[in-house]
Structure 1
Amino acid sequence: MMMQFKKILAYLWASPTTLVGVALAMPLLLTGAKIRCVQGAFEIYDGWLLRCLTQAGGFAAMTLGHIVIGVSADCLHTLRCHEHVHVRQAERWGILFIPAYVLAGCWQSLCGRHAYYDNPFEREAFAADEEMQSHDG
């Protein structure tokens, strides 16, 4: 019972970031993207607008709260561990997640480091990827 209550609170706390993801997902779904629920998050994938955005933006997947957007189902399968770290980060940071993520990237850039690869949010996700691969291999 207590675990369910904590999970509900996590969803509520992350809901401002999730709503940004919902706003982005709506036009994607209207242009052919598919949706499925995996491990408590909604995955949005495929569709012509999403393919255009990922090509223009140079990304394969992104997470906004409990919305994970990826270029394809295969891509999301490959990146699921990484993207679900971001889901848990959104659950911890709540409404502060997006500004904290952006500021962390800006700070890295100002310090002469890479805004994405040196961002602490990404480093946590990459570390989870490495841990999972070490257990698989």
Structure 2
Amino acid sequence: MRLLILLWTLPTTLIGMLAAGVWMLFGAKARLAHGVVEVHGGRFAYWMMRRGFAAMTLGHVILGFSAARLEQLRPHEHVHVRQAERWGILFIPAYLLAGLWQGLRGRHIYYDNPFELEAFAMDALVAKTNTHKKV
């Protein structure tokens, strides 16, 4: 079953691998972590951060600002990995269309995007879990 999921996600992951390769040409570093390729640093990371993004998931590839930031964002980004596994080749168009639909309705294209709302729910769960651990 895992092989089928990898194949279903492969087109999106290949786009991620292409982006990762370009990032690495400009100084980024890559590592395999929790079943995905994480790429961080380099010139594109600073460009991404200046535009308000700390990370982006493309299939089984996560591009991020720094290794430390990727570690913080890992639960959120892994929601997107699972979404890519569900949606396969349709993930990128579905994500973009969901944001566009929110924009056309006068809502925020990112914060009201259903794909992001699912990931934000994970953020809230992690925060709640971490709060309980500290008590």
- TM-score, length basis structure 1: 0.91
Q: Following superposition of structure 1 onto structure 2, how do residues 108-123 of structure 1 map, counting pairs within 5 Å?
A: 108-123=102-117
Q: Give yes or no for contact 2:40–2:64 (8 Å, CA) kept in 1.
A: yes
Number of paired residues?
A: 131
Give 4+ residue runs of structure 1 displaced > 4 Å after superposition. none
What is the match of residue 22 of structure 1?
17
Deviation at 1:8, TM superposition (A): 1.5
SS at 1:44 equivalent: strand
Residue 39 (structure 2) aligned to one of 44, 56, 59: 44
C-alpha separation in 1, matches of 2:56 and 2:104: 23
Q: Give yes or no for contact 2:9–2:59 (8 Å, CA) kept in 1.
A: yes
**Structure 2, unaligned runs of 5 or more:** none
What is the match of residue 8 of structure 1?
3
**Structure 1, unaligned runs of 5 or more:** 1-5
Deviation at 1:57, TM superposition (A): 3.0
C-alpha separation in 2, matches of 1:59 and 1:132: 20
Identity of aligned residues (%): 56
What is the match of residue 107 of structure 1?
101
What is the match of residue 66 of structure 1?
60
Deviation at 1:71, TM superposition (A): 0.6
SS at 1:59 equivalent: coil
1:16-38 per-position Cα deviation (integer Å, ceiling 9, x unaligned): 11111111111111121110111
1:3-52 per-position Cα deviation (integer Å, ceiling 9, x unaligned): xxx2211111111111111111111111211101111100000112332x
1:96-126 per-position Cα deviation (integer Å, ceiling 9, x unaligned): 0000000000000111111000000000000
Amino acid at match of 1:57: R
- TM-score, length basis structure 2: 0.93
